[in-house]
Amino acid sequence: MEVGLVPVPPPPLVLDLADYPAYVPFVAAGPPRLPQPVRAMLEAGMKTDDSAAVSALVKFAIQTNPYDKDEIRDLHRAYNDRRARELAAMTAAKIARIRASGVLELWEGQVEMGAFRSTGNTSNFGVTGAAKLDRKGINWEHMLQARADYQEDRGQVTRSQYSASYQPRYTLDEGFFTYGRAQFERDKIQGFAARYSLAAGLGYRILDRPGMTLALEAGPAARHVNYVDGLDTTTWSTLSSVDFDWTLNPTIKLTQDASAYVGSDNSTFTSLTGLEAGMAKGLKVKLSYSIEHETSPPPGALKTDTISRFSLLYGF
């Protein structure tokens, strides 16, 4: 009997697959939000008027929260828009106030006074004083200045200097201005009973930003001198000057003023360096050092004259 072969069915196919994850429902979510502490820091900084400090805060916030940079920039943009509107309103109000003011209004100034006294081996007495008035309009600026230095040594006058000046400025364009200057000086120790100077020219504000200003001036000048020996002279010269102010912080200010009258017979170079420190509202203490150099002084007078001053300054 013949036995037949019985076919064997193939083994079932088994797929070794990972377990199918459970269904995750869709949840609507908004864009990433700026963390509340960071937002509070920015909003606190933006309540101030210090745009530079706000820009530094914004830069730091973007570096530490890069995914929220759009929201941070929106806050910064809103702050800049608000500051622009505030500054525009302040400028409009200032211009309206200037237009409505009289000639004797809107003047600002400061008064400086100092003195010293010594007895014993030496007997010295000296006083120094100065006053400055300034009025800024839309295009015009007017400056009045006066200074006096007097000193006695053993009853003999060793310093007797007096000066006064008036200088108007007219703004031409951003940075450029024209100016005029009328000045009177009296210093018998240096050999002249009176010296009158008239000058006019062009100036440029190299720096004009909060806390720091730098202006240069140059132009022709005429000088008339009455010497103590009775001789009178009138000469032409050129005048150049530098005016630099730097507010280091709310209480410390550095000033530097220098000028040069360059003429054919005599040239005058002056420098006044000052350091002001606030003591109370409107009241400051000032330390200054001035140099005046004449290339051809009258006979018997020294070419270089210096003076150090320690005085109180009151602004109004």
Q: Which fold has domain 108-315?
A: Porin (2.40.160)
Q: What is the pLDDT of residue 3?
A: 58
3-state percent helix, strand, coil for the chain, nearest multiple of 5: 20, 55, 30
Q: What is the pLDDT of residue 302?
A: 85
Q: What is the pLDDT of residue 125?
A: 78
Q: Render pLDDT for 36-49 as a digit per residue (tens, 0 to 9).
A: 899 999 999 999 88
Amino acid in position 274: G
Averaged pLDDT for residues 201-206: 96
Query: Measured between alpha carbons, how far is 183 from 145 in angstroms, rounded to an integer?
Result: 9
> What does pLDDT average to over the chain?
88
Q: What is the pLDDT of residue 101?
A: 84
Closest CA to 55 of 38, 88, 80: 80
pTM greater than 0.75: no
Amino acid in position 155: G
Averaged pLDDT for residues 261-286: 92
CA 184 → CA 21, 107, 109, distances in Å?
97, 22, 20
pLDDT higher than 80, residue 15 = no
Residue 246 phi/psi, 5-degree rounding, is -140, 110
Taking the CA atoms of residue 223, residue 227, residue 233 and residue 237 in that order, the dihedral angle to the nearest 10 degrees is: -30
Q: What is the pLDDT of residue 311?
A: 92
pLDDT higher than 90, residue 13 = no
Q: Where are the domains of the chain?
A: 36-97, 108-315
Q: What is the pLDDT of residue 157?
A: 85
Report the range of poorest mean pLDDT among 2-6, 117-121, 148-152, 182-186: 117-121
User: Encoding tokens for residue 21?
Assistant: 């994850």
User: Encoding tokens for residue 245?
Assistant: 């102010």
Overall residue count recorded for the chain in this entry: 316
Of all residues in the chain, the percent with pLDDT exceeding 90 is: 52
Averaged pLDDT for residues 11-19: 75
Residue 43 phi/psi, 5-degree rounding, is -65, -35
Query: Measured between alpha carbons, how far is 279 from 308 in angstroms, rounded to an integer?
Result: 20
pLDDT higher than 80, residue 299 = yes
Q: Render pLDDT for 115-133 as a digit per residue (tens, 0 to 9).
A: 766 565 556 778 899 999 9
Q: With bands split at pLDDT 50, 70 and 90, how would you rate the model's confidence at 106?
A: confident
Angle between helices 51-64 and 69-100 (to 10 degrees): 170
Q: What is the pLDDT of residue 132?
A: 95
pLDDT higher than 60, residue 138 = yes
Q: Render pLDDT for 166-191 as a digit per residue (tens, 0 to 9).
A: 999 999 988 899 999 999 999 988 88
Q: What is the pLDDT of residue 248?
A: 92
CB 166 within 8 A of CB 143: yes
- Distant-in-sequence contacts of 139-147, Cβ < 8 A, 24+ apart: 139/170, 139/171, 140/168, 140/169, 140/170, 140/171, 141/168, 141/169, 141/170, 141/171, 142/166, 142/167, 142/168, 142/169, 143/167, 143/168, 143/169
Q: What is the pLDDT of residue 187?
A: 92
pLDDT higher than 70, residue 151 = yes
Q: Render pLDDT for 49-65 as a digit per residue (tens, 0 to 9).
A: 888 899 999 999 999 99
Averaged pLDDT for residues 209-229: 93
